[in-house]
Amino acid sequence: MNKAVSPKRLRAKASVLTLIFISVVINYMDRTNISVAASAISEDLELSRVQIGILFSAFAWTYSIMQIPGGMVVDIVRVRVLYPFILIAWSLATLVQGLVSSLVAMVGCRMAIGVFEAPSYPANNKIVTQWFPPEERASAIAVYTSGQFIGLAFLMPVLAMIQEYFSWRGLFIISGLIGIVWAVIWYLLYREPDEATDSEDAPQIPDVIQAKVSWRNLGIAFSSRKLWGVYIGQFCLGGTLIFFLTWFPTYLEEDRGLTSLNSGFLASVPFIAAFFGVLLSGFFSDFLVRRGVSNEIARKTPIILGLFLSSTVIAANYVDSTFWVTVCLSITFFGNGLASINWVFVSLLSPKHMVGLVGGCFNFIGGLSAVTVPIAIGYLTEGGDFRPALLLIGALAFIGLCSYLFLVGKVETIQLDNPENTQ
């Protein structure tokens, strides 16, 4: 029989989710402000499309490489200390972007942001796994993941206006200052589960085990077919996301002929669609689990449906009006939102002592899409035609769908004969 959850514990969970949500908004603001500023930077620094593609991609070079080390760090360092440190570090790198004047320096700043943002999503997943029981995790993941969509839906026009009044340099400086302030707030407000001063506030199922770094664990993380299924799915899902986070405003301005300010407002519409997609997916998935529906149906169905809808981005190649382009891309990003609860598979499949490490591997493979896709789009659109780029995004989404259908299999925790776990 399930024990009723006290109001204090509900408030504690709500507070934890609020902290993660706002952190995700700031995280994605500092990833994507470059997309709002891209046309102005290109003109000011005289950069080609391929060079802009490299600038878009630079964040992911280090973000991907640091995912596995970042996941290991999350497994051994307390989140209350780790999170404000990385927030301040990536915010400082964001701020410095507004002070430099060369492609090399800009690339260096983007790489620094990637290094320090790398542990953030494994940390988010660890916090949710500590504070929420399995039947509530998809909803919790949906709430904080929605921050990357609803935050950007409202931030896109705000960032465009900041740039309009303070230039692209002011955009980066203001973004960096916001992150530094939030890091201080996070440290003052967040508490680890074992730091809760009242037992009513503590989580009911703290099933994350602090682990030591182990090459054997790393081998396990890369030898499971189930895990490779979700890794490939994350890469393909990331292909759609990275298009919207990087090239989308440029697509609206240069391919569809909108002004930078108008593109900022129009770009917010697909993000709102994605926001509703991820919330619908998370809460409906948890509802099915509570009704006794198997994880194969309750967890996989929203992701498979979402990847299918994302593959329909190709339809935007066959419409001319701004309205119908917006409809097509909103459906695409709604699907991306539906599939964005895929982080739930990290906690469902991972051995308990490897949640951070598997989360790092998962995000490492996913991050490779952010390394490759922006540069690929830069080359594909060098002649000014975005149609091949949309074909690429659609194809990736379809491959991700097949990965969940044929590789993941039964959704259950990976069992180890002799787990090498804790201290």
**Mind listing the pLDDT tens digit for each residue in 306-352?**
999 999 899 988 988 878 888 898 999 899 989 987 877 887 887 77
Look at residue 24 and tell me whether its pLDDT is greater than 80.
Answer: yes
**Mind listing the pLDDT tens digit for each residue in 29-56?**
898 888 888 888 988 888 888 888 889 8
- The pLDDT value given to residue 108: 95
pLDDT band of residue 112 (cuts 50, 70, 90) is very high
Kindly report the average pLDDT of the chain as a whole number: 83
End-to-end CA distance of the chain: 33
Assessment of whether the complete model's pTM goes beyond 0.75: no
Report H helices in 312-341: 322-339
Secondary structure tally for the chain: helices H, strands E: 19, 0
Considering only residues 300 and 417, tell me which one the structure prediction assigns the higher pLDDT: 300
- The pLDDT value given to residue 1: 41
What one-letter code names the amino acid at 67?
Q
**Mind listing the pLDDT tens digit for each residue in 126-162?**
888 888 887 787 778 778 877 777 777 777 788 888 9
- Here the tokens at position 261 are 């300010």
CATH number at residue 250: 1.20.1250.20
Mean pLDDT throughout 170-183? 95
- The pLDDT value given to residue 4: 55
Distance of CA 182 to the CA centre of its chain: 19
Kindly state whether residue 198 falls inside one of the protein's structural domains: no
Kindly state whether residue 223 falls inside one of the protein's structural domains: yes
67-71, 166-170, 328-332: the lowest-pLDDT one? 67-71
| Partners of 211 in the β-ladder | 422
Kindly state whether residue 74 falls inside one of the protein's structural domains: yes
- The pLDDT value given to residue 395: 94
**Other CB atoms closer than 10 Å to residue 352's CB: what's the count?**
15
Kindly state whether residue 197 falls inside one of the protein's structural domains: no
221-235, 337-351, 388-402: the lowest-pLDDT one? 337-351
pLDDT band of residue 390 (cuts 50, 70, 90) is very high
Look at residue 203 and tell me whether its pLDDT is greater than 60.
Answer: no
| Cα torsion 215, 219, 222, 227: sign | negative
Q: What's the domain count of the chain?
A: 1
Kindly state whether residue 422 falls inside one of the protein's structural domains: no
With a CB cutoff of 8 Å and minimum separation 6, the contacts of 79 are 123, 126, 127, 190, 192
- The pLDDT value given to residue 205: 47
- Residue span of the structural domain in which 378 resides: 11-190+208-406
With a CB cutoff of 8 Å and minimum separation 6, the contacts of 1 are none
Considering only residues 360 and 331, tell me which one the structure prediction assigns the higher pLDDT: 331
Considering only residues 174 and 126, tell me which one the structure prediction assigns the higher pLDDT: 174
- The pLDDT value given to residue 263: 57
Kindly state whether residue 116 falls inside one of the protein's structural domains: yes
Report H helices in 246-299: 248-250, 260-266, 268-290, 295-298
**Mind listing the pLDDT tens digit for each residue in 265-305?**
677 788 888 888 888 888 888 888 888 888 778 888 889 99
- Here the tokens at position 196 are 């809760």
- Here the tokens at position 291 are 């009704």
| Partners of 422 in the β-ladder | 211
Kindly state whether residue 202 falls inside one of the protein's structural domains: no
Kindly state whether residue 2 falls inside one of the protein's structural domains: no
Distance CA 264, CA 257 (A): 13
